[in-house]
Amino acid sequence: MPAVFVHGNPETAAVWEPLLSELGQFRSDLICLSPPGFGTPLPAGFGATRTEYRDWLADELTALGEPVDLVGHDLGGSHVVNVVLSRPDLVRSWVSDVLGIYDPEYEWHELARRWRTPGIGEADVAARFGGTVEERTAVLVERGMGRQVAARVAAGQNEAMGRAVLAVYRSTEPDVTGPGLELERAAARPGLALLATADHLVGTEEQRRRAARRAGARVQVLSGLGHWWMTEDPVSGASALRAFWATVH
């Protein structure tokens, strides 16, 4: 039964490397899936909406042939939730660090508001994903990503990622976005909400805890860690995951 990791924006699978290095001492069935546009090409005809990412992930998990321990970060965390709600048969357990975005009081962070605004969003991604690898690395480090990982992630950032960012942040399908989502259905499978206390992009602590209760998920606090907790303290992240998986039967 593999553990499957799904990253977010503006990332590639390299963001998981420190965490997987820790976890690899205890289990060998670790798989990274890169959403289209985020470290992999955007297929022709793929609109990069949240529904399409949900269906992409469901197809990838179906191909594995058995239920998985599913772990998602950032946008990947929302893809995880959307699959759990629509295809719980594909999942043994699930982990997400973005449950706060489903709370009725959640407000989009400043970057998301920018990407959702025509003209402003296009200018932002042109600047963010243009330039040199060194310049893109510096931006990621400034935002809190470990430098070694940031350099590897920056190497995978490109124009296609920028197009995917705009499309997914502008998609508003009611069945996979927003506070109206029937989060309670996620309780069909054991869930864990990772709460990195210094991550201010995914809602307040209160919002994240409320959403976790709705989803029937346990809460694991990652004290002092930020949005890229897996690069800041992979030992703590691995410990949290291992402790959770030990309770899943």
CA 139, CA 223: separation in Å to the nearest integer?
24
Q: Please tell me the pTM assigned to this model.
A: 0.96
Chain centre to alpha carbon of residue 104: 20
Question: Of 188, 168, 167, 166, nearest to 177 (Cα)?
Answer: 168
CA 81, CA 71: separation in Å to the nearest integer?
10
| pLDDT one digit per residue (tens) for the chain, 249 residues | 899 999 999 999 999 999 999 999 998 999 999 999 999 999 999 999 999 999 999 999 999 999 999 999 999 999 999 999 999 999 999 999 999 999 999 999 899 999 999 999 999 999 989 889 999 999 999 999 999 999 999 999 999 999 999 999 999 777 777 776 899 999 999 999 999 999 999 999 999 999 999 999 999 999 999 999 999 999 999 999 999 999 998
| Ramachandran bin of 174, using left for φ above 0, alpha for ψ from -120 to 50, beta for the remaining angles | alpha
In the chain, what are the domains?
A: 3-245 (3.40.50.1820)
Tokens of 152: 């590897």
Decide if 62 contacts 72 (C-beta within 8 A). Answer: no
CA 41, CA 221: separation in Å to the nearest integer?
34
